[in-house]
Structure formats: structure tokens, C-alpha cells
Structure 1
Amino acid sequence: MEISKCCLLLLVASSLSYIVCSTTVSHDGRALIIDGQRRVIFSGSIHYPRSTPEMWPDLIRKSKEGGLDAIETYVFWNGHEPRRREYNFEGNYDLIRFLEEVQNAGLYAILRIGPYVCAEWNYGGLPVWLYKIPGMQTRTDNQPWKDEMQNFTTLIVDKVKEERLLATQGGPIILLQIENEYGNGDIEIRYGEAGHRYINWCANMAESLVSDVPWIMCQQSDAPQPMINTCNGFSGCDGFTPNNGNSPKIWTENWTGSFKIWGSPHPHRPVEEVAFQVARFFQSNGTVQNYYMYHGGTNFGRTSGGPYIATSYDYDAPLDEYGNIRQPKWGHLKELHASVKLMEKALTYGEVVEDHLGNGLTITKFSGDGIVPGCFLSNQNSTVDATISFQGTNYFLPAWSVSILPDCKKEVYNTAKVKTQTSIMVTKKDNAGDQSKDLRWSWKPERLHDSAKGFGNSFTVNKLLEQKTTTVDASDYLWYTTNVEVSKKESFTLSVSTTGHILYAFVNGRLVGSEYATGGTYNFIFERKVTFKPGKNQISLLSATVGLSNYGAFYDNTPVGIVGGPVKLIGKNNTILDLSESNWSYKIGLDGEVRKLQLDEERWYSGVIPTKRPFTWYKTTFQAPLGSEPVVVDLLGLGKGEAWVNGNSLGRFWPNFTANPDGCKQCDYRGNFQTNKCQTACGEASQRWYHVPRSFLKRGEPNTLTLFEEAGGDPNQVNFQTVTVGTACTSAGEGDALSLSCQGGRTISSVDFATFGEPDGTCGDYESGGCGSDEAVAILKDACLGRESCSIKISDTIGTSCAKLASPRKLVGQVTCS
């Protein structure tokens, strides 16, 4: 695909010439216009910090092969400016390299600067140091905020301009975004008139930086011109109308699934439902559609928004967390993209005529002079299949499906008729080297006693401080320590009101209790009976977070920690001693964090290691698994903490937080999708497998895994495995080709099931049905055994033993890859 046109510029003064490739980007009410042509654009979100630079080319290549025209990403302010005016554009924050990889692949880019991003990202992408600036109020008509937001936005725009990455400079960027979801729900309303002024300021500021590439504002119904307001959601974008007649219809976020939550089952969105909504969007004059996410990736480090977002950001995307192709989602959508592209001219230039037949049935025709017409036949009934008679031909439409007829004669695609292979991914130990069950561990205790006794405290004030603004997000942990004097041995109830996610209480260096926030309510009162000795007694409270809030009006003002308390001692006869304004000293982070034990190679204890012991550091070495398949570490058996490989953080782990056992049932794709509709892993660990990118590993020499275990677990179950296709299933009817493939050099080792007709059960669990299984198995064995992939053309000569089988005949097969 060409993304630009080239014009020759002559430098007469130096008698030199060079070619500058540029692309004009504009729009009207019908479509985005690129180099004078209205275009249909399929885009997909890939967030560069949620993968590694070594992964980017492969992810982008697979996206292009899946039929995408563009890659979309947010820009993550708190990753790029972790400290004020100290910038980071290295490693997986190398935004320019990422955009250049997109350009090298011949794709467009959509850059959503924000700089607020939401994205289930820690603090919505805002750096916490903003609150060190006097008078700061974010996302409103506030001068300190506007100064900082404009400074960062200008920085990003200047960077892409310097590297000539705007489309008009010959680069890939065809759309830019300012702000994000500000008009969603009642967010803007709650900011009042200052919010309206702020949105107008955003538009003017953005346009002053770049005026020759369009800007968008998603979920912003009052977006000022020339901003293009856009739609987000699982559904409903077919009925979305921009707020200006000159704005094209853009779907910024078509959620391909959803994020994983600690303590919840895994959500899955069936590809039939995704495809249905995409087809309906283009049937209703849509022009740019972006999948959120096309590759979700991993929340490395402490980047997940919280306190509920898991480390995996797989999102049930067409490319899974590790970069594998997820089938049938990737393949079925690829066929959809190709089908829609066949009628691009009709969709963007043709006149539209709709015929509503009743009961959710609609025929939409796009046609015009000199244009090959294109048609959509849709059945929006979620329960009843239908047959539509159109231009003398009958077309069968399953419930909740759309058929695409690029020439208004032949159906080339139906959203509910999936012909792509289904792949069941498995973890395998066979390529994991010698370390799978023989890891030798060493350990170190976290120096709790020292911290609980106040050693290392850095400052003292007479109040209980808010946690995130005290730590400036340098750690999940903050120590609060004070002293109390009593004249004799006495018992009290220690009462602590906290908005932290976890609280540990120590008296005189001894842990007296802990409590986790439950049920999504991060505001609780911790109470424990404690006994004080005569004289001075020390109370130390360790508050822990699991990510900072990332969404909603004034979300950034959500308090964290023991801010204000109260912290009280309740004695006999309910006498109360309020310690909230006592002399409190503070220490940011754990001792092991300060000493960077994940990088420490010396003085670890060996021999028999303690297990089920909270606040313990563990370390082991291992060999990198062989091959090129993605690597994961199985942390089942551990409690809660953080993991590192060779000093690179894999993110927070919490495998002892199990999902509710209820809520998983047979999935029906029909009807608008909700996150609790199709779930798996009920009653299991919210997350068990943690991605270890190959670029984190050293080949041929020992690698180091370091774990910080907060809750108490057993590292002896930890092992490394690779992720690959284990089982593959597909089906094809007469005139089509049945295709099967493995990955990573693995081959088809067995044919486990084959039949003509419709079998009982589903992929991985076929039982019986159809006919001629012996003949079908023989055909698949002959074509597929020992091969990494195979393809069989289905003809009417196949299935001679099934003469009575209704036409069109269908071949179904299931194989194992090893």
C-alpha cells in the first residue's frame, strides 16, 4: 500500500535535488480524504510501552497481514516525563522508533497524544509530580495545568515534526488526538463552565501546533471545529452521528475484548460479534474504524491502572499478549477487511439507499455512476435466523449477522459464518531447558523490623499525608510511624481509617495485623487489639497500593493511603486517643526496593528456603527456553508481589487472588456484548502466566529471576514455559479450502478428529456427528501430517461415503501441533 505521493523539489542554489514524499490529509462529511481520494481505513491499537522494541516489527507486520491500514497508539506522559523536565524516550518508550517501524511497514499512524489517556494505565498517564505544582487542577481551565499540558503536547509534536513523521512531511501520521473521553458520561458536566472553556482551549492549542493533519476528540459531542468528534464502545457506533456535517464518522475504539481484573474471570468477545458491529458501522457510512486493542500486551513494571487492573493486558485481541495470532479472531477479521475493501469506492462515493424489511432485516445499497455497487444485508434480530430474497437470489442470514456483497450479487462474507482456523494455545515445558523443576532458590528477608522501628525515615510532620503525592509514585509502599507513651502495660484497639488498598500494622516492630480492601471499596477501617508496654511504644503503619485510579471526573483527586486518618487508640470505657495530628515520620518504599535487590547478586541465603513467609525476596537462575516461541513464567503458588528477569520488571503478580467461581457459561455471540457475557477461568487465579519477552533473556548463559513476595507463597512451583498452538480446528465447504497451521516451527503430529458434516461438541472437545470419519481422517493425514501448515481444496468428490449428506458438503478437522 502506498501511503504518500512524491514530489520533486529542486534545490537550485546548491544544484542538488532530492525527493520529499508527502501525503495530503483532509476530510469531508463522508470520509477521510488521503491524497484526494476518500478512503476506508482499518486501524488497530498497539501501545508501544506494553511490548518491547524487539517485538514491534513482528506485531506491526502481523497487523498489516491482518488487513490493517493504520496503527493507533496513545502517548504515555508519565512514562516519558517521570520527573518534571526529565524525559525518557528510550527502550519501550522510544515513541519515534515505534512510529518509524509503522512507517517502514507501509502503514499509517494515528497518534492520540491526550495527554490524559485512561487506557487502564496508572493514573491515566498523568505524572504524579503535577501535584507538586502550586495551584494545580488537572483537566480544566487552570493555568498551571494548561502550561504543563501544552509543554508536553508541544514536546511530542515537535519530536514527530523533527523526524518528519507527519503525513504532510512524508511520515505515517494521518490523525492526531487531543484530550481523551472528556465528554464521556458526566465528566465534562462535572467540570462545569471551566470544562467547556478548557475544551475550546485544547482545540485552539492543538490547531496552533499542527493545522495540516486533522485532530480528533473522542467521546466529545461538543468538540469545537475543526476537531472531529468520534465514537468509542462495544456497539452503538453504527448509530453515531458527528456533531458537524463536515466530519466523517470515526470509531476510535472498537473494544475487541476487555481487560483482566484481579479477582474476576477472563472476558472474551466472540469474533462473530466484533465482525457484526464492524460491518454495521460501514453499512451506516462509517469511514475509519480502530480496534482497541489489536495487540494489548503487558503492563510491565507498575504501569497498570488500579487498583483492579491485572498485569496482563491481553484484551482478547487479535494478537494475544505475547504477539501470537489469535484464531479465529485475527483471520475472520482479515477476511472482513478484504471484503469491505472490495467496495471502498462505493462506500465512500456512492449514493446510499436503505430498505428496511422489518424484524431487524435491512438491505443497504451503495451505488453511483461509474461505480461498481456494493451491498450489505443485515439481520439485527438476535434470536431468529432469516432468509432474504434480493434481486432474484435467496441469502441465508443467521441471527445477528451481516452479509457483504461487493457487487450486490455474490455473498463473499458473512459475519457469523466463521471459516478461519480455531487455535487453542497451550504452554509447553518440552523446550524449557533443564530448569523446569530444578530451580535452586536463594532468599533474603525484607528488613521489616528496621522499617517498622523507624530506621531510614526521611521526614516528619504533624499530620497523616496522602500517599501518592508523598511517594510521587516512586513505590507502592509508604511507611507511617509515630510514638505513644503509656504509664503502664495497657491494651487498646488500634483503629486506622484508610483509603489505601492494603494495610499492615506494626507495634514495637511486631506485625499485629493486616487487611486488604475488598469488593472494589478502597476505604476501610482496620481495627486490632494491641498491648502496649510501659513507656514509649512505636506504631508503624505500612500502606500499599496496587496502581492508581485512572478514570472519571476528578479521578486524580482520589485519595490514597492513611490521609487524615483518623488513627485512634480506643481504650477502656471507650476512651479515645486520636493520633492523627501526632508527630508522624515517613519512609517511602521498602528497604529491598531502596537497595534494588532485583539487581543484587551477592549475599543471598541459600540452602532450605522459607515458604509461606510474607515480605521475602527470592532469587534463582535459569536457562532461556529454546526456540523463538514466547516465554512465560508460571507463578502459581505465589501470593502477591513483583517479579523481575535480569532486572527487567515483569509487573505485579497476584496469583492467589482467585476469580469468582460463578459467571462462566456457554457463550452466545448474538446480541450486544457486555464484559460478563462470555467469561472463562471462573474459580481460577486471576492471572497465572506472566510474559517474559525474549529480549529480556540472555542466550547460552544464566538468567536471573527475582521475586518479591509480599503475601507469603511458595516459589518451588515456579517454572518457565513457552506458548504455542496446541490444537487447531477448522472446517470448509465445497468450493472452499480447508487450511490448518501450527507456529514456531512445530508441525502437525496427529489428526485427532475429522468428519463430513456437522460434528457434536466444539474444537478441542469434538465427540461425534457427520459421517465418513475414516475417509475424512485419511484425507487430512495425507495432506497435513508432518507439515507446519496444509490446505485442502474441498470438492464434490470428497465424501463419497456420505452420498446422502445434504449439500453443500463440509469437512471438519482437528489436529495437534507438536
Structure 2
Amino acid sequence: MAMAKSLVVVLVLFLLSFLAYSTTVSHDGRALLINGQRRIIISGSIHYPRSTPEMWPELIKKAKEGGLDAIETYVFWNAHEPVKRQYNFEGNLDLVRFIKEIQNAGLYAIVRIGPYVCAEWDYGGFPAWLRQIPGMEMRTDNKPFKDEMQTFTTLIVDMLKKENLLAPQGGPIILSQIENEYGNIQSGYGAAAKNYIEWCANMAQSLDIGVPWIMCQQADAPQPMINTCNGFYCHDFQPNNANSPKIWTENWTGWFKDWDKPDPHRPAEDVAYAVARFFETNGTVQNYYMYHGGTNFGRTSGGPYITTSYDYDAPLDEYGNIRQPKWGHLKALHAALKIMEKALVYGNYNSTQLENGVQITEFTGKGITPGCFISNSNTTLDATVKYHGQNYFVPASSVSILPECKEEVYNTAKVNTQTSIMVKKRSQAEDEPEELSWSWRPEEMTSTLKGALGNFSDHKLLDQIIGSGDKSDYLWYMNTFDHPYDMDMTLQVATQGHVLHAFLNGDHVGSQYAADGNFSFTFEAGVKIKKGKNYISLLSGTIGHANYGARFELVPTGIAGGPVFLIGDGGMKHDLSSELWAYKVGLNGEDNEIYMDNPNDKWYTDSVPSMRPFTWYKTTFKAPLGTEAVVVNLEGMGKGVAWVNGNNLGRYWPTTIANNQGCELCDYDNHTVPDDHCRTGCGEPGQIWYHVPRSFLKEGEPNTLILFEEAGGEPFNVNFQTMVVGTVCGHVEEGKTLTLSCQGTRTISNVEFASFGNPVGMCGAFQKGTCDSQIALDAIQKACVGKMACSIKGSARVLGDSECKNMPVSLAVQAVCS
């Protein structure tokens, strides 16, 4: 009897504990419901493989401090299952650890399983081995694909369930996604597309995860799937069912960068405007894509022609630093929205249209503190709106937020947070020489240049992703043939690859790179064929694979089908395409893991060459002092891959030059968006700075940098630096408080400009206006110099009388961090 009572007590305690921590997630047509309460959820994307486990807690902490409720991530199939049924969930692929870090911070999680992700990720996240399955057709009503998709999706769900990470289990996950942006391209799959989407929905529901499933960009998403919106603006989006809340899965905070394009940006004002309009129109869940973009470490995290940097102009930059003013301006927006959260999800909605694109939207109800928006969607005309007896200045393309509908606490175009200008600082460790000392070794190609030691052979020119299984960026195509006499000919190779290096009888006869991302070109070179046996060796290289579009997986890569011709006098052609070709996957240096710096590897220290293709370089260095993010400058190198202590930093290609399109003044008055304007870096190398996470480095002992240089480069100018805040600026209206922070341990060493009056200009180009306080500079110097952060209220009591008569007064400051 006593034992039975004890078991009952244990059971009751367990049930009470479960109920205490369990979270119910549901929805109605107005909002997402958390434990029965309607909520607005502000989320941000952080991709765990694009950072490191050591970075995760700080990234999530900064996201929470920025006012986020949730962190969103994709799940990356090809990273987790690179070989069929061989899984990797270690290091920065430790999905469970990442979700638990989110939970430890007290935030919710949104998991987009897909498993197609797009995400500017290699092959859209699909593992290459799928192509080797007979009868395989991806993302359609195809049994082999559906079997594999269900196997992986079930694996992820079971893993999350086992760790109690779903909200009903007490975990942080409140939403999950199946498929991704399929509606954008489903017309390319014909009638089978509808069957496939219905199957996706049924399969997802059968997994019984206890939280809603979403499908982004899927207007015909079957119930109970919630269809959601992606884009720069989603305030006009409406879900396809009256019981589905309005969810924005991707608010693009910037854009990704290609090697040959300048750096895209999106003004903080425009991001804020889009968010405010979304919640003004009954939005409930909004996710920033990206909140931290991160780095395309390794091979699989970078899609076609995408740089190693995936910075995305996000509120947290590639290295995890707070990007100001975007982070702070959005933080203030989140705070304003949260003040009137109850009104937004429970209040009655009423919108009044005024002239020239101006409208007033009120959320009111019995027992609810009201909330109001005044929005001006006119892109060129400012407006002054009289509301409840007060005048409100609402600039073009902006929204004013009025909790209680009485006073403006925030306007999306009025930035009252600092601007931080990041700089690179040469920060050497103690006793570190100014120049690095290099050793080198050639890539061993003797066997491949003679057609020997292939992994397999075939009487056709294979697609590179099929031939290599995506185990390397490189695939050798090797052919041996006899010729009756010496002869001058032309070697002609049609390729879908991004790079082609051609050799005849051991001699390099030429290289060619795809121009402007056009991955289809014909290589030609004059060659001398000798009497007897000849060897043609073609090294095809890729820079990521197609990741978007209907049947994108069928986009050919490499010398797929060729043809390959030898052309003689009079146009005589010898077609080698269907002859026997031997194949070797990858480089010999990759096979031997030279990048791991095995003590038995032989390196040469004499006569270190420069501008020599197919060369490995090695140097040692000490970790820069401090805690700031570390970068390595690879300007002068050609094209290749970099490793630090065996960790793959990603591809480098500094010799690509960004075009001159879109580098206009990033002025929000022009209402610019990143795919049209607002770019920087025109005419400059595509990327020269590469992130070296602190967790990759060893303190107090030598670290190893190894480079594989494919095209030929100059290693002697390579150096390590740290990313720090160099200049901080701010411009706020009278009555507002300006906070300046150097981030980290650096302090404000000098105030270069200060004006309390009617200053004009922007950070780096401030000028005093026609009236100004005489004591403002001195007051700000006393408040800020020598401090890591300071706050100054823009008031005459603090800064002195500006003597501005009948005009707006503001405070502008520019200071230096050292």
C-alpha cells in the first residue's frame, strides 16, 4: 500500500512538473496563441553552421537584448548527411545544442526543416547522393525522393522529441516548417506539384509535433498548414485561410553578395518601415532574414558564386558585432510594439485613409489600452498629420507609433541611435613579427597529368556533381589517345563548370573562369600533339552548385557531355567525348589532408614562389591579443581555400572585382532597396577579409594557416587583424538621449564633433548649422572621453542654450574609440 501511494505521488509530481513547463501553441485567424494568449512574435534568423558553438550564446544574447522573442534556423540536410545514412551533428552542426542555447536564453525557436532550404546554400541543402538513386526526381510526386525526404524529416523530428525541445514538452520550439518557397516555382513541376504539396502536409502532420506547421510562399498550402510570406515587404500579404494568422518568415534585412558584385545594404529606416506596416496590418509573427548572417565556412554552406561572407547587412554583422544603427533602431521599434501588444492582437482594427498615401490605424477595445499607427506610404512627400488635436510630422515612407494613441514614441525614419563605423586594426600578439614566414609545396599532379590513378572511368563526360558526389570542388577528366604523327591542333572544351584548367602531356595549356556568373563557356587553346601516346587532363572546378528554381538539381556542372574536340587544319575534328575517360575526385592534397598540417608532411622553406598556381602555402602565427573578432587579409592571393588549424575558413577569390552597378548614395530619402541601389565596394575586390573565429585559435602557442592557391597569388602580404569600432556617431532630436558605445573594452578617446542646435549632414560629414550651443562640445567631452560608453540627453539644461529660434533643435556627436 505504501509503495502504491509513493508511485501515485511520483506520478502526480511528474504531471504537475510537465504542466508547469509545457507550452501549448495554437492559433486563430488573428494571432499565434501561446498558452491560450494571443502574441506577437519578433524573431530573427541565425544559422548554426554559419557561426560556431562558442559564438552561439553571445549571438543569442545580443538578439534577445535587441528585443527578439525567438530565433529561427533552417536545418541543413547535406551538412548533416553528407553520405547516405552517415550523419554529422557535431561542432557547428550540433542542432540540439543550438536549440538548447536558445532555450537557455529564454527565447522561442522556429525550426524550418525543409529539408530544401535554398538559403544561398550549396545545392539548396540537398545531399549529392540523392542524384545517384535510380528514378530520383526531387521536390515532386516521386517515391524515391519522398522516401528520403520523410526519412530525414522524421530523423530530425525524433531527435528534437528525444531532447524534449518541442513546446508541448517544455522546449522552445513553437513553429516548424515543411518545404520552402515551393509556390514560387511549382509551375515547373506540372500537375504533380499539387500532389507533392498535399503529401508534404500529410507527412508533416503525421509526425505529431504538437506545434503548427508553416509553408512559406505557398498560396495553396493545404490546411492545417499556415502559408506565410517572404520578401522586403509583406504588409499586403493575406493568408489563404481565415483561420491562419499573418506570418512573415523572411524580412530581408539586406541581401547576399556574389563574388563579382558590390556589397548590398538595406537602410535601417526601410527595414523598420516594413516591420511597422506589417504589424499595422494585423501581422503576428515576423522573422528577420538574417539577424546574423555569418560565414560560409567550408564548401557546403556556400551556393553558386556566393562569397564566403554571408554578412547580409544583418543587425549583427558577420563577426557577431552589433551593427549600428540597424540593431538599435530595430530594438527601439520592438520596444514600442511590445507596449501595445495587447491592443494589436485583441483590439478592434480601424484604418482611416487620408490623402497622399497617409493613413491612421487604431486598435481599440473595451478594457484595452489602445494603440495607433500613422503611416505615410508616399515615397517622396512628407506629411504633417493633425490627430486628436496634435500635429505629427511623418516623413515619406515612414510610420509613427503611438501607444495609447496620444504621443509618438517612435517613427521608423527618425533614427535616434548611434552609428558605428567598424575598422580593421593591426593587432599583433607579443613578439609576433610584422611579416609572416612562409613555406610551400606543390600540388602533386604527376599521376593525374598522365591519366593514371583515376577513381573510375566511363565512356562519357559526366556531370561533375554525379562524378564527384560533391566530395570536392574539383574533378579531373583524363583521356589517353594515340596519334600517328606530330601535329598542331586546337583543344576545344565546352563546359558548364565555373573553372577549367587544361593540360596536355603534363604541360599547362590554359585556364578559364566563368565570367559574370555565366557557368557555360567554351575553352580553346592551341596544343602540340605528339606522335604516339598523348594525355589530356582537364581539371574542372566549381564554386557551389545551383540552389534555386524548378528542377535546379538538374542544372549541369563540369564538362557534362562536353563536347571535347581536337581540331586540326581545315576544321578537321576529332571528337573525344565518347571515348574512355578516367576520373579522379579532388586534389591529391585533399586526399592527403595537407590542410591538417601533419608533422610528416614535407614543406619547402627556400625560394617561396609567388604567382604559382596549384601551390600549397603554410605559415604560423600567434593569436591577436584581445577578444575582438579576428580576420585574415588575403588580398594578393588568387583563388583557393584557406584553413586555420585544420578548420576550413571557406573559399577565397580576391582577384574577382565587383562591378560598378548600384553604388549610389544610400540615402533613405530616395527609398532605396538593396537589389537596386545602396551598395558599396564598386570596382573593389569581391572579398579580401575572411573570418577566423576565436575558437579556431590557440592562445599562447603557434597557429597554422594553410592556403591552397589554385590560380597563382602573392602570400607575402597576408596578415591578421581585428575588427573594432573606430568611430561612433549619433544624431537625435531635442529631448532624446544619445548613447554612444565602443562595444567591448575600448574607450572614447576624442570627441571630433559636437553640436546642439541645428547641425546637418551625416556620420563622417557633420556640419554645424546657423545656431549652436557654445558649451555642448565641452560638456560632451567631460561626459564621454575615457569611457567605454556614455549617454547624453539632448537638452539645454545639460548642453546649454542653442539659441535656435522657431526651428527644430537636435544633437549631433562624432567620437573616436581607441
- Deviation readout 1:306-347 (Å, 9 max, x if unpaired): 321000000000000000000000000000001011111111
State the match for 1:215 in structure 2. Answer: 213
Paired with 1:74 and 1:655, the residues of 2 have a C-alpha distance of 29
Q: Structure 1 stretch 573-582 or stretch 247-256: which is displaced more? A: 573-582
State the match for 2:619 in structure 1. Answer: 620
> How far off its partner does 1:133 sit?
1.1
Paired with 2:200 and 2:807, the residues of 1 have a C-alpha distance of 61
Q: Is residue 2:258 matched to residue 1:274?
A: no
- Secondary structure (helix, strand or coil) at the match of 1:160 reads helix
- Note the 1:381-780 alignment, pairs <5 A: 381-435=378-432, 437-600=434-597, 601=599, 602-669=601-668, 670-671=670-671, 673-769=673-769, 771-772=771-772, 775-780=775-780
Paired with 2:496 and 2:346, the residues of 1 have a C-alpha distance of 56
Paired with 1:412 and 1:241, the residues of 2 have a C-alpha distance of 28
Paired with 1:297 and 1:386, the residues of 2 have a C-alpha distance of 39
**What one-letter code is carried by the residue in structure 2 that aligns with 1:12?**
V
Q: Is the 8 A contact 1:755 1:770 kept in 2?
A: no
**What one-letter code is carried by the residue in structure 1 that aligns with 2:193?**
G
Distance 1:677 1:252, change over 3 A: same
Q: Is the 8 A contact 1:432 1:722 kept in 2?
A: no
**What one-letter code is carried by the residue in structure 1 that aligns with 2:361?**
T
TM-score in terms of structure 1 length: 0.97
Paired with 1:448 and 1:770, the residues of 2 have a C-alpha distance of 71
Q: Is residue 2:193 matched to residue 1:195?
A: yes
Q: Is residue 2:283 matched to residue 1:286?
A: yes
**What one-letter code is carried by the residue in structure 1 that aligns with 2:639?**
K
Q: Is the 8 A contact 2:309 2:318 kept in 1?
A: yes
Paired with 2:636 and 2:594, the residues of 1 have a C-alpha distance of 22
Q: Is the 8 A contact 1:305 1:549 kept in 2?
A: no
> How far off its partner does 1:70 sit?
0.3
- Secondary structure (helix, strand or coil) at the match of 1:17 reads helix
Q: Is the 8 A contact 1:764 1:814 kept in 2?
A: yes
Distance 1:168 1:382, change over 3 A: same
Q: Is the 8 A contact 2:758 2:808 kept in 1?
A: no
Paired with 1:232 and 1:402, the residues of 2 have a C-alpha distance of 21
> How far off its partner does 1:13 sit?
6.9
Paired with 2:51 and 2:591, the residues of 1 have a C-alpha distance of 26
Q: Is the 8 A contact 1:796 1:809 kept in 2?
A: no
- Note the 1:2-81 alignment, pairs <5 A: 12=8, 14=10, 17-18=13-14, 19-20=17-18, 21-81=21-81
Q: Is the 8 A contact 1:124 1:305 kept in 2?
A: no
> How far off its partner does 1:808 sit?
4.5
- Deviation readout 1:629-685 (Å, 9 max, x if unpaired): 110001111111000000000000011111113431112324362423100011111
> How far off its partner does 1:459 sit?
1.6
Paired with 2:815 and 2:202, the residues of 1 have a C-alpha distance of 58
> How far off its partner does 1:756 sit?
1.9
Paired with 2:767 and 2:408, the residues of 1 have a C-alpha distance of 32
- Deviation readout 1:672-717 (Å, 9 max, x if unpaired): 6242310001111111110000000000000000001111111111
Distance 1:637 1:573, change over 3 A: same
- Deviation readout 1:124-159 (Å, 9 max, x if unpaired): 000000111111111111111011000000000000
- Deviation readout 1:63-83 (Å, 9 max, x if unpaired): 000000000000000111111
Q: Is the 8 A contact 2:654 2:686 kept in 1?
A: yes
Distance 1:211 1:439, change over 3 A: closer
- Secondary structure (helix, strand or coil) at the match of 2:515 reads coil
- Deviation readout 1:591-643 (Å, 9 max, x if unpaired): 11111111134310003310011111000000001111110001111111000
Q: Is the 8 A contact 1:457 1:585 kept in 2?
A: yes
Q: Is residue 2:349 matched to residue 1:352?
A: yes
Q: Is the 8 A contact 1:46 1:73 kept in 2?
A: yes
Paired with 2:12 and 2:213, the residues of 1 have a C-alpha distance of 35
> How far off its partner does 1:810 sit?
1.7
State the match for 1:6 in structure 2. Answer: none
- Deviation readout 1:44-75 (Å, 9 max, x if unpaired): 00000000000000000000000000000000
Q: Is the 8 A contact 1:446 1:592 kept in 2?
A: yes
- Secondary structure (helix, strand or coil) at the match of 1:769 reads coil
Distance 1:350 1:143, change over 3 A: same
- Secondary structure (helix, strand or coil) at the match of 1:99 reads helix
Q: Is the 8 A contact 1:756 1:770 kept in 2?
A: no
Paired with 2:84 and 2:456, the residues of 1 have a C-alpha distance of 22
Paired with 1:293 and 1:57, the residues of 2 have a C-alpha distance of 17
Q: Structure 1 stretch 782-791 or stretch 444-453: which is displaced more? A: 444-453
TM-score in terms of structure 2 length: 0.97
**What one-letter code is carried by the residue in structure 1 that aligns with 2:688?**
R
Paired with 1:797 and 1:732, the residues of 2 have a C-alpha distance of 16
Paired with 1:400 and 1:641, the residues of 2 have a C-alpha distance of 44
- Deviation readout 1:519-562 (Å, 9 max, x if unpaired): 22211111111111111111111110000111110001111111
- Note the 1:163-182 alignment, pairs <5 A: 163-182=163-182
Q: Which runs of 5+ in 2 are unaligned?
A: none
Distance 1:516 1:776, change over 3 A: same
- Note the 1:298-317 alignment, pairs <5 A: 298-317=295-314
Q: Is the 8 A contact 2:756 2:794 kept in 1?
A: no
Distance 1:619 1:154, change over 3 A: same
**What one-letter code is carried by the residue in structure 1 that aligns with 2:695?**
S
Q: Which runs of 5+ in 1 are unaligned?
A: 1-8
State the match for 2:225 in structure 1. Answer: 227
**What one-letter code is carried by the residue in structure 2 that aligns with 1:220?**
Q
Q: Is the 8 A contact 2:645 2:697 kept in 1?
A: yes
Instruction: Report how many aligned residue pairs link the two structures.
Output: 807
- Secondary structure (helix, strand or coil) at the match of 1:287 reads strand
Q: Structure 1 stretch 770-779 or stretch 250-259: which is displaced more? A: 770-779
> How far off its partner does 1:743 sit?
1.7
Paired with 1:108 and 1:223, the residues of 2 have a C-alpha distance of 24
Q: Is the 8 A contact 1:658 1:686 kept in 2?
A: yes
Paired with 2:422 and 2:35, the residues of 1 have a C-alpha distance of 42
Q: Is the 8 A contact 2:427 2:720 kept in 1?
A: no
**What one-letter code is carried by the residue in structure 2 that aligns with 1:143?**
K
- Deviation readout 1:354-402 (Å, 9 max, x if unpaired): 1100211000001011111110000111111110011111100011100
Paired with 2:672 and 2:75, the residues of 1 have a C-alpha distance of 30
**What one-letter code is carried by the residue in structure 1 that aligns with 2:155?**
L
Q: Is the 8 A contact 2:771 2:804 kept in 1?
A: no
Paired with 1:808 and 1:534, the residues of 2 have a C-alpha distance of 87
Q: Is the 8 A contact 1:488 1:533 kept in 2?
A: yes
Paired with 1:520 and 1:470, the residues of 2 have a C-alpha distance of 22
State the match for 2:134 in structure 1. Answer: 134
- Secondary structure (helix, strand or coil) at the match of 1:450 reads helix
**Alignment partner for residue 341 of structure 1, among 338, 342, 346?**
338
Paired with 1:786 and 1:220, the residues of 2 have a C-alpha distance of 54
Q: Is the 8 A contact 2:124 2:303 kept in 1?
A: no
- Deviation readout 1:567-586 (Å, 9 max, x if unpaired): 11111111111101111111
**Alignment partner for residue 205 of structure 1, among 186, 203, 206?**
203
- Note the 1:776-815 alignment, pairs <5 A: 776-800=776-800, 802-806=802-806, 808-815=808-815
Distance 1:38 1:579, change over 3 A: same
Q: Is residue 2:113 matched to residue 1:104?
A: no
- Note the 1:255-270 alignment, pairs <5 A: 255-270=252-267
